[in-house]
Structure 1
Amino acid sequence: MARSLLIAAALALVSSVTAQCGSGANAKVTGSGSSFTATKGSSTVYTGSDYRAAIQAAVDSISSGQRVSVIASGSIGASTITISSGKIFEGCGTINTASRAGHGAIEVLNASGVQIPHLTMTGSPYFGLRFYGTKDLVLGKITMNLSGGLGIRFDRDQAANTNVKMDVINVTGAGSHALETWNIDGLTINTVIANNVGESGLLLQKTTNAKVGLVDGNNVGAGTGYATLRFANNNGQLSSGAYTTNVVIDKVVSRGGGRGVFCVSQSGGATIGTVDLASNGNNAILIENCYNLRINGGTVNGGGEVRISARDEFPNTKDIWITLKVDNTSVKESPCGENTNWTLSGNGARSIC
């Protein structure tokens, strides 16, 4: 309960900017079909058939601290909308997209204080939203009903991000991940919902000081090694090299698809409050070369086994505490981890150290 209250308090800013889409806008994009108009106050800054150009003109017309509301629905095609520091962008209509290799349909790069309180996106973008070098970024209610591509991406090889907050991220139909992070220090998310996505629901990489409420996946990563929740590539490892707990997930729900929970490649420093996993097509839980991970309760019913493992190229799995009811699937530890602690119930077969 205390953790949930903490997340709610941290997301107060998100709630304040998601209240009424279109209310109090300094600039707006209106129109439909092949006729769009962008206005800033009483001035027209664009009129014509190019939906993306209308949106970008509206964005460029406002100053830091001001809001642009895209009321119109339309398609930006294989192009990009860029938002600079301090601006508030809300998509009250539906923005349809197509793939532009290596780019996002909407990008915030090396910018601070950007807010996207509302957004509905369709199509098949390369990345729906792409970020790097951000500070004090706030995402509100983001809904993506996609036919391919990756939902939200924080870049791996670019500048790091600090103090990122998200309310509800709801992604359906992505061919890759729903939400993939790299290089964030300070991340707060209320809810991630992923349905019928090709790879992970929430993939955290080199992300520290993270607090997440609910990760809910249905048919996530079917036929792959990805998971509804995946920690990878030194996620949770602090700059000192330590794995002191700094990543906290309240709850993970996963049905079908690939794995439920996966911690791999020298990640850790994490606590998961409870899990509700059923009928996962790969491991319900796989903990591999992971350090200081706790799963404090919940259930696994059917699907792939619960497994602690390790690869030779990394130090062995260490400091694991698992409390679970496991039914209709097995629990296995091989090779043996260091300081692994199991508290198990249920009918699942066990082969543990």
Structure 2
Amino acid sequence: MTRFFNSVAVLLAIASFARAQCGSGSPDATVTGSGSSFKASKGSTSVYSGSDYRAAIQAAVDSIGSGQRVAVMASGSIGANTITIGSGKIFEGCGTIDTANRAGHGAIESLDTTGVKIPYLTMTGNPYFGLRFYGTKDLELGSITMNLSGGLGIRFDRDAAANSNVKMGTITVHGAGSHAVETWNIDGLTIDKVVARDVGECGLLLQKTTNAKVGLVDGDNVATGTGYATFRMANNNGQLSNGAYTPNVFIDKVVSRGGGRGVFCVSQSGGAVITQVDLANNGNNAILLENCYNVAINSGTVNGGGEVRISSRDEFPVSKDLTIKLTVNNNSVRESPCGTNISWSISGNASKNLC
């Protein structure tokens, strides 16, 4: 219980710091008000006045052009509805935007756009997707804080146009029922930090994403009782267009406490280098590399939890070209079935069953 309240306090502190800078200077449009009275203004011109918080936000967004900025200073609920952001627009969510579930949609969406920026956002509620994207180019997300009661945090769609050059700052998600951040079809991804707390599935899930650089993935009570993980790569993640798994996905550090798996690579993913891990008491495998190719975990510690394992399913070629350098205590390390060109360097008191 103490850990829960501490994590909430950290999230609120992060959100408060972001709000202090959000809306600074002279935004091109603003949304102000509270309760059942909201006003959207572009400069000195009113573009909306009324009781509908979502309508006020959308009116403000629609009033600006490419390269211009809207600051939503008011807090309120958009209900089971969607805010859409067009190309080149800068959206700052300085108040708290509360949401509800609109099936198949995001509370905020930007689809087939170029140059959209969301430097600040604080969201609550139970959206289907908090933020939903596809077909984006040069998208930038900054300090995003989601204190949710369900739903999925940030989603890039699977069966839609691909994305390129996506940048994220610090993404903090608490209480999502599904993933904190899920990507599909991105070429060129940079993330400073993903912090996931009490999240039902993955902290960060990368799929068909190439040329990625991630600073920190930090999960606490993520994917409890599931096969998901604090950090997961799946569905040909890291496989380049020529079929090769030349290293192109770089993760500085993965921290995982409790929950389900710590690190999970599956379904012909690879081309990845994880510089360091710090995993403890994971409820499922601390690490599972299954049908993965050219992956290196270069340092770190695993303490307790489920085993560290290299594995393969029959439907894909066996795991190949894997390097694992770890200190593993109070756990076990296993390779079954045997992979190809597997390099282990394991210290600590873990039991070993290797090929």
2:8 alignment counterpart: none
> Residues 18 and 117 of structure 1 are in contact (CA less than 8 Å); yes or no, is this contact kept in structure 2?
no
SS at match of 2:55: helix
CA RMSD after TM alignment: 1.0
1:151 alignment counterpart: 153
Report the residue type matching 2:171 in the other structure.
Answer: I
Q: CA deviation at 1:19?
A: 8.8
2:21 alignment counterpart: 20
Q: 2:92 aligns with which of 90, 100, 103?
A: 90
Gaps of 5+ in 2: 1-17
Q: CA separation in 2, counterparts of 1:189 and 1:197?
A: 19
Gaps of 5+ in 1: 1-16
Deviations 1:61-108 (A, max 9, x none): 000000000000000000000000000000000000000000000000
> Residues 280 and 303 of structure 2 are in contact (CA less than 8 Å); yes or no, is this contact kept in structure 1?
yes
Tell me the TM-score normalised to structure 1 length.
Answer: 0.95
Q: CA deviation at 1:20?
A: 2.7
2:45 alignment counterpart: 43
2:207 alignment counterpart: 205
1:293 alignment counterpart: 295
Structure 2 counterparts to residues 26-175 of structure 1, below 5 A:
26-175=28-177
Deviations 1:263-318 (A, max 9, x none): 00000000000000000000000000000000000000000000000000001000
SS at match of 1:305: strand
2:220 alignment counterpart: 218
> Residues 18 and 140 of structure 1 are in contact (CA less than 8 Å); yes or no, is this contact kept in structure 2?
no
Q: CA separation in 2, counterparts of 1:274 and 1:180?
A: 22
Q: CA deviation at 1:182?
A: 0.1
SS at match of 2:139: strand
Report the residue type matching 2:22 in the other structure.
Answer: C
Deviations 1:134-172 (A, max 9, x none): 000000000000000000000000000000000000000
Report the residue type matching 2:45 in the other structure.
Answer: S
Report the residue type matching 1:349 in the other structure.
Answer: S
Q: CA separation in 2, counterparts of 1:344 and 1:256?
A: 22
2:179 alignment counterpart: 177
SS at match of 2:58: helix
1:337 alignment counterpart: 339
2:321 alignment counterpart: 319
> Residues 18 and 141 of structure 1 are in contact (CA less than 8 Å); yes or no, is this contact kept in structure 2?
no
SS at match of 1:190: strand
Q: CA separation in 2, counterparts of 1:99 and 1:324?
A: 42
Q: 1:229 aligns with which of 231, 238, 241?
A: 231
Q: Sequence identity of aligned pairs in percent? A: 77
Structure 2 counterparts to residues 254-265 of structure 1, below 5 A:
254-265=256-267
SS at match of 1:239: coil
Q: CA separation in 1, counterparts of 2:49 and 2:38?
A: 6
SS at match of 2:60: helix
SS at match of 1:136: coil
Report the residue type matching 1:334 in the other structure.
Answer: S
Q: CA separation in 1, counterparts of 2:21 and 2:53?
A: 23
Count of aligned pairs between the two proteins: 337
Tell me the TM-score normalised to structure 2 length.
Answer: 0.94
Q: Where in structure 1 do 4 or more consecutive aligned residues deviate above 4 Å?
A: none
SS at match of 1:60: helix
SS at match of 2:138: strand
